[in-house]
Amino acid sequence: MARKSRNRGGASSAARSARAAQAHAAPAGPAQTGTAQLIPPAATDADPATGKNKATGKNKKEAYPGQRFGLPERGSGSVASMPRRLAALLIDWLLSMVIAYWLTHSQFWTIAVFAVEVYVLTALGGSTVGKRLVGIRTMRIDGGPVGFGWALLRTALLLAVIPPLLTDRDLRGLHDRAANTIVVRI
C-alpha cells in the first residue's frame, strides 16, 4: 500500500529524513518529556513597543547619564560625575567658612554665607566658585539660565541635605529635578 506524502511545505525528502534523524537521535531526558524549558531573554532583547529590555525592564537606549536629554557621554556638556560635585561642594563650604570667620570672627554664620553664595552665583551664572574650579555648572534642562526663582528652590532643597543624595539615573538629585536643572561639565 502506498503512503501519502505529508509534505505540504514542499520540503525535499532529504530534509525530511534529516529532521527525522535528529528527532530520533536526541535522547529524551527529564527536561524534554512534556515539560517546557524556560530560557531567559538575552540582555539586549528589547520590546519593540516600549523600547525597554524585556529581562531588566530598563530602557536599553539610555546607556549613560544624560542621554535622554541629548547630552554627550563624555567631555564638555556631559553630566558631571559625583566626585566633581562633591569636590565643588567641599570647596564652596570651606570658602564659606573662611568668609564667615573673616566677617564675624565666628563660624556660626557659615551656613548663611554658603546659602547666599550658592543662591546668587547659581542664579546669575550657574556656577559657584567651587563648581567653576572643578569645571562644572548648573543649567536648566531646556538650556536656559537657572534664574532667581529656580535657584531659590534648588538652594533651599540643597540645604535640606537629603534631596541631593536621592539621585536618578541621570545623577540628578531631588533638588535638580524640582528646579528642572542638571549639572554638566564645562
d(Cα 8, Cα 4) in Å, to the nearest integer?
11
Which residues on adjacent β-strands are paired with residue 183? 138
Look up the pTM and report it: 0.65
d(Cα 119, Cα 137) in Å, to the nearest integer?
13
Give per-residue pLDDT as tens, 117-170: 999 999 999 999 999 999 999 999 988 889 999 999 999 999 998 888 899 999
